[in-house]
Structure 1
């Protein structure tokens, strides 16, 4: 069992940290809103720290799941950042979806301090976090990954080292690119069924058994039909992720025409007041 700090207790981090405690790890948590950290401790019995540095002090592993590049920098190297509390040989595991550039920047700083750094963004949404069934895609030094993987296993369905620092974030971009086009296609399919006077449930029952089937179709078609979009990953966060994908494609020469188009469709959803709706809300703009 390891001494673990967990930084960031949002809809993903809260249950992920809980799984670590459930596996018997000694967990200390920190959150920008202290009340959330206190609520976590009352539920799972771990410790609460006043700062990220305090949480990281004496920890073998420091996990983070925050918002964006700036949040991650603040948590790592800002005043009272985790790096100032971590000892040599400790490993920082970043579950935030951020740019590969900030990952490499922070990994370099960590290396200069004798700290390991693994970028480990996740996929599976809130349900995956709560059920301990996340897909975790990692980048970093193989030795650091080998040490961290048994700890990550507390909430992972699959965990894999994809390459050097930044490779985990690049793999997460592949994930978000695939989801964007898939959800748009599903939205158009279900909207077409409605316009054609077909039963969405009957259509999905048939086509989900063939080549059109997907996790999104199986798990979101009913709520999409009912115009309920309070499940899973928010549009605001998806636009942040797609922005990272599009910026990276500018650098590496990849062509992302569908991703760019769907990003603008999500912008329309935001303008409809749906920034906190889940990503399946693409169908809402087709129904206007």
Structure 2
């Protein structure tokens, strides 16, 4: 494919950095920006590292954003809206509230720009491997425009309808994962009480119908009881809150909020979400 669009990428954190690197590997005309400029130190000379957002926006046709929360996304787009953006396409891949996403989309469209919400399923390893799944809410014409670049960063692009549907699907996925992670933690602790090792218990889970991608990815962390953050517990707490605010008023919701909030308060927030096992154990 001949890449004619100029691509900008804002947000080079644990997810954004490897995603932008995959665009670079595919030879796109790329400009990147991160508030902490050292995060861009390993990009090749052909990639422009911008010192500010207006410069990146001015020289890009499609701008991807991958940021941590509502406040960060609002701050970036407030800056973006101060620049001429007619005809430009903005693709936000952050996990934020539907309300924030809708507000930003409305503001961009009122300035004759386009907006897609395209959050991802997958954590840091799939981001590095280019095997993320994109959940997209978009106008069809804009999806056609951006899809070639999404496939450089992911293995699947799921179109779900109008803008906002991508965020909706992401909140559902992370609500489900919050249940799985707490369930795995409790199951492993129960197994230990019954004299079964973590290694044996996780092997049984993964080799049975109970196993899934999440259980297999988190097995080494549980077995070694070490939790470097592929997906930080604080992000899971944020996403459970967002799900509840969006209408997840189910029996598990209060339990999940109590557990992840308690783990945060106990100091586990910056560790991987599976550190919840130490909080429950204590």
TM-score, normalised via structure 1 length: 0.92
Contact kept, 8 Å, 2:10 with 2:34, in 1: the verdict is: yes
CA RMSD of aligned residues (A): 1.6
Following the alignment from structure 1 to structure 2, what is the Cα–Cα distance between the partners of residues 3 and 58?
7
2:36 to 30, 33, 36: 33
Cα offset for 1:90?
A: 1.6
Following the alignment from structure 1 to structure 2, what is the Cα–Cα distance between the partners of residues 25 and 146?
17
- 1:269 paired residue number: 263
SS of residue matched to 1:163: coil
Following the alignment from structure 2 to structure 1, what is the Cα–Cα distance between the partners of residues 48 and 122?
27
- 1:219 paired residue number: 217
> In structure 2, do the counterparts of structure 1 residues 195 and 163 end up closer, same or farther at CA, with 3 Å as the change threshold?
same
SS of residue matched to 2:163: coil
Following the alignment from structure 1 to structure 2, what is the Cα–Cα distance between the partners of residues 181 and 131?
26
- 2:278 paired residue number: 284
| 1:53-202 equivalence runs, <5 A | 53-77=54-78, 81-85=79-83, 87-202=85-200
SS of residue matched to 1:208: helix
SS of residue matched to 2:168: helix
Following the alignment from structure 1 to structure 2, what is the Cα–Cα distance between the partners of residues 214 and 235?
20
1:52 aligns with 2:53: yes
Following the alignment from structure 1 to structure 2, what is the Cα–Cα distance between the partners of residues 255 and 71?
27
SS of residue matched to 1:35: helix
Following the alignment from structure 2 to structure 1, what is the Cα–Cα distance between the partners of residues 123 and 45?
21
1:225-280, Cα deviation, whole Å (9 max, x unpaired): 3221114111111111111111111xxxx432213311211112112211101111
Cα offset for 1:86?
A: 5.1
Aligned residues: 279
> In structure 2, do the counterparts of structure 1 residues 83 and 146 end up closer, same or farther at CA, with 3 Å as the change threshold?
farther
Name the stretch that deviates more: 83-92 or 119-128. 83-92
Following the alignment from structure 2 to structure 1, what is the Cα–Cα distance between the partners of residues 17 and 45?
10
Q: Which ranges of structure 2 fall in alignment gaps of 5 or more residues? A: none
SS of residue matched to 1:4: strand
Q: Which ranges of structure 1 fall in alignment gaps of 5 or more residues? A: none
- 1:17 paired residue number: 20
TM-score, normalised via structure 2 length: 0.94
SS of residue matched to 1:255: coil
Following the alignment from structure 2 to structure 1, what is the Cα–Cα distance between the partners of residues 35 and 278?
33
Cα offset for 1:16?
A: 0.6
Cα offset for 1:44?
A: 6.6
Following the alignment from structure 1 to structure 2, what is the Cα–Cα distance between the partners of residues 286 and 195?
13
1:260 aligns with 2:260: no
Following the alignment from structure 1 to structure 2, what is the Cα–Cα distance between the partners of residues 55 and 150?
21
Following the alignment from structure 1 to structure 2, what is the Cα–Cα distance between the partners of residues 284 and 178?
21
Following the alignment from structure 2 to structure 1, what is the Cα–Cα distance between the partners of residues 45 and 12?
13
Following the alignment from structure 1 to structure 2, what is the Cα–Cα distance between the partners of residues 86 and 216?
42
Contact kept, 8 Å, 1:53 with 1:86, in 2: the verdict is: no
1:4 aligns with 2:7: yes
1:230 to 228, 231, 235: 228
> Which stretches of structure 1, 4 residues or longer, exceed 6 Å deviation after superposition?
none
